């Protein structure tokens, strides 16, 4: 519990994905790959892809509406909107457009970029605003449309990613349901996963050349990212559990960033968490970056699998490099 005596509770969830799906067989028509290879190496079978008309703002707003409704609130009750994304519709940020779309006039809104760790970083950020007494109701959205930035001729990366959005409502609560967290960053390993600006030289004056904006597609060293995840994720979860004064036996659900089934399995094995406690929906959606944790959470909440009071160990990891874990209980 914070010094102010104010705790936090996660009281609603929602999610939304684009209509069009691309399964592994169809993907094999685009690059030299196969359903067997992708399923065996990643567990992914299909992914959703946004059309040019389906903006990040649209799917993020849909996810947000679901979360606000589940919490029994209206958009006017929201004090703060945090949009965790690396693929905003606008480099200046998309959170304000979502605020307008929802009609959440009272809310202040900003984007937060921490790649696939964005949801966990956002959850902890939201908790700080609530625990200090600054805000009482936060809408946290994790949403990404990485399909816009994937090199569709690179079979090592394009098979992994999909588009989607997930959201939660986080409210001030007498009992603090965020039990522990740990966030980490390591910029020295930044080169392993990039969606980097690639400025094009532009002669503004005879003696002044500036860089005009454009981005190179996602580049990744898959093996290095894999090694990093399998080593660092169990570590950071154990640290968050330690801060929560809990052990792995207290965890009801392991909710990892949905990057690769082999990573989920390896982390579960290292932590001795049985497969039935590991939430996985990446077969249907692939890696949806900041959306993957709230999207998977919303599915299990709506299916009735997760019950109020269940203890969830959530962990995100990815570009930056960034990684982090948050241990929280669902509901008030």
The site map against ligand UT7 for 155-174 (x = CB under 6 A) is: xx--x---------------
Name the nearest CA neighbour of 82 among 117, 119, 57: 119
Please give the Cα distance from 62 to 101 (Å, whole number): 10
Has 20 been annotated as catalytic?
Answer: no
Asked if residue 281 binds ligand UT7 (CB under 6 A), the reply is no
Minimum gap (Å) between residue 227 Cβ and ligand UT7:
9
264 binding ligand UT7? (CB under 6 A)? no
The tally of CA atoms less than 13 A away on the side-chain side of residue 214 is 9
> Which one of residues 59, 67, 116, 178 is an interface residue with ligand UT7 (CB under 6 A)?
116
Choice between 136 and 156, CB closer to ligand UT7: 156
DSSP characters for 18-32? Answer: -SEEEEHHHHTTTSS
Q: Which residue has the tokens 């690396």?
A: 86
Residue from 206, 66, 197, 207 nearest 141 by CA: 66
Q: Cα(256)–Cα(53) distance, rounded to whole angstroms?
A: 30
> What is the token pair recorded at 67?
């979360």
- Residue 178 vs 229, nearer CB to ligand UT7: 229
Q: How many helices (H) and strands (E) does the chain have?
A: 9, 15
Using Cβ positions, the residue closest to ligand UT7 within the complex turns out to be 222
If one asks whether residue 22 binds ligand UT7 (CB under 6 A), the answer comes out as no
259 binds ligand UT7, rule: CB under 6 A:
yes
Decide: is 284 part of the binding site for ligand UT7 (CB under 6 A): no
Active-site entry in 24, 96, 173, 257: 257
Q: How far apart are CA 332 and CA 330, in angstroms?
A: 7
Does the active-site annotation cover 287?
yes
Please identify, using beta-carbon distances, which residue of 97 and 260 lies nearer to ligand UT7.
260
Return residues touching ligand UT7 (CB under 6 A). Answer: 33, 37-38, 41-42, 116, 155-156, 159, 220, 222-223, 225-226, 229, 259-260, 287, 318
């Amino acid at each position: 519990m914070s010094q102010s005596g104010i705790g936090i509770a996660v009281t609603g969830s929602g999610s939304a994905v684009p209509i069009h799906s691309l399964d592994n067989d169809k993907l094999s028509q685009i690059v030299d790959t196969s359903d067997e290879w992708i399923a065996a190496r990643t567990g992914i079978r299909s992914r959703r892809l946004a059309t040019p008309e389906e903006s990040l703002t649209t799917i993020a707003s849909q996810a947000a509406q679901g979360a606000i409704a589940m919490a029994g609130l209206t958009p006017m009750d929201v004090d703060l909107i945090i949009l965790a994304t690396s693929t905003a519709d606008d480099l200046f940020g998309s959170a304000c457009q979502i605020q307008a779309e929802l009609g959440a006039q009272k809310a202040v809104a900003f984007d937060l970029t921490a790649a696939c760790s964005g949801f966990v970083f956002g959850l902890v950020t939201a908790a700080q605003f609530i625990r200090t007494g600054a805000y009482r109701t936060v809408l946290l959205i994790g949403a990404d449309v990485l399909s816009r930035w994937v090199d569709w001729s690179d079979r090592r990366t394009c098979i992994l990613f999909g588009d989607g959005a997930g959201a939660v409502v986080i409210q001030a609560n007498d009992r603090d349901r965020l039990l522990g967290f740990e966030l980490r960053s390591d910029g020295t390993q930044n080169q392993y996963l990039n969606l980097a600006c690639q400025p094009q030289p532009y002669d503004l004056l005879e003696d002044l050349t500036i860089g005009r904006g454009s981005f190179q597609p996602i580049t990744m060293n898959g093996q290095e990212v894999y090694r990093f995840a399998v080593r660092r994720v169990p570590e950071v979860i154990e640290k968050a559990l330690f801060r929560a004064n809990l052990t792995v036996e207290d965890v009801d659900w392991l909710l990892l960033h949905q990057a690769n089934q082999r990573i989920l399995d390896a982390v579960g094995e290292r932590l001795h968490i049985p497969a039935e406690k590991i939430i996985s929906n990446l077969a249907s959606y692939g890696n949806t970056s900041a959306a993957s944790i709230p999207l998977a959470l919303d599915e299990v909440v709506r299916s009735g699998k997760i019950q109020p009071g269940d203890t969830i160990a959530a962990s995100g990891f990815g570009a930056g490099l960034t990684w982090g874990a948050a241990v929280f209980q669902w509901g008030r």
